[in-house]
Amino acid sequence: MTPLRFLLFVLVLAGTSACATAPDGNPAAFTVARRSFASSGVRILVDVYTPRAAGPHRPVLVLHGAGGMLFDGPEMTRVGEQLATAGFECYQVHYFDRTHTWFARQAVLLKLFPAWRATVQDAVNWVHRRRPEAPKIGIFGYSLGAFAAIE
């Protein structure tokens, strides 16, 4: 494992463990699980935030911007936590996994966007299979993620 990957692993691990409890030390109002689906033969990671409270939890995809999970991840994690606390089942999709991209600069946006858009559609289909009782899936897209959400 390269030093950069190790550092990112430690940062992700630290961020994930922080989700287990609320700031006051009590258990969080949600649980977090890492899942995945295949898009064009590539494994796409998804962080699933599920409310602990009973009830119908409408699914919502959360899509990062051009900063990817590297730069936008912490903020998108906060969005996922807030949505789960509000009663939504949140799916934070690592759609850059499809192209093995950490973040997107202008030079690659147009070239890789069709693959990312297809990955978001695959994510919608995957959530529909997981949650067939949910008539609709919400999408929160930040910047590039908002463009990828538009069909």
Q: What is the pLDDT of residues 40-60, one digit of tens each?
A: 999 999 999 999 999 899 999
The DSSP bridge pattern shows strands 138-141 and 42-51 to be unpaired
Statement: residue 7 has pLDDT above 70: no
- Nearest Cα neighbor of 65 from 140, 142, 12, 122 is 142
Instruction: Say what the pTM is.
Output: 0.83
Q: What is the pLDDT confidence band of residue 25, given thresholds at 50, 70 and 90?
A: low
For residue 27, the model assigns a pLDDT of 80
The DSSP bridge pattern shows strands 42-51 and 89-93 to be antiparallel
- Nearest Cα neighbor of 44 from 101, 105, 113 is 101
For residues 66 and 109, the answer to whether their CB atoms sit within 8 Å is yes
CA 69 to chain centre: 8
**Backbone phi, psi, residue 27, to 5°:** -60, 140
Single-letter code of the amino acid located at 71: F
Q: Which two tokens stand for residue 49?
A: 């935030």
For residues 138 and 149, the answer to whether their CB atoms sit within 8 Å is no
Q: What is the pLDDT confidence band of residue 23, given thresholds at 50, 70 and 90?
A: low
Kindly list the distances between the CA atom of residue 145 and the CA atoms of 70, 104, 116, in Å, as whole numbers in the listed order: 14, 12, 9
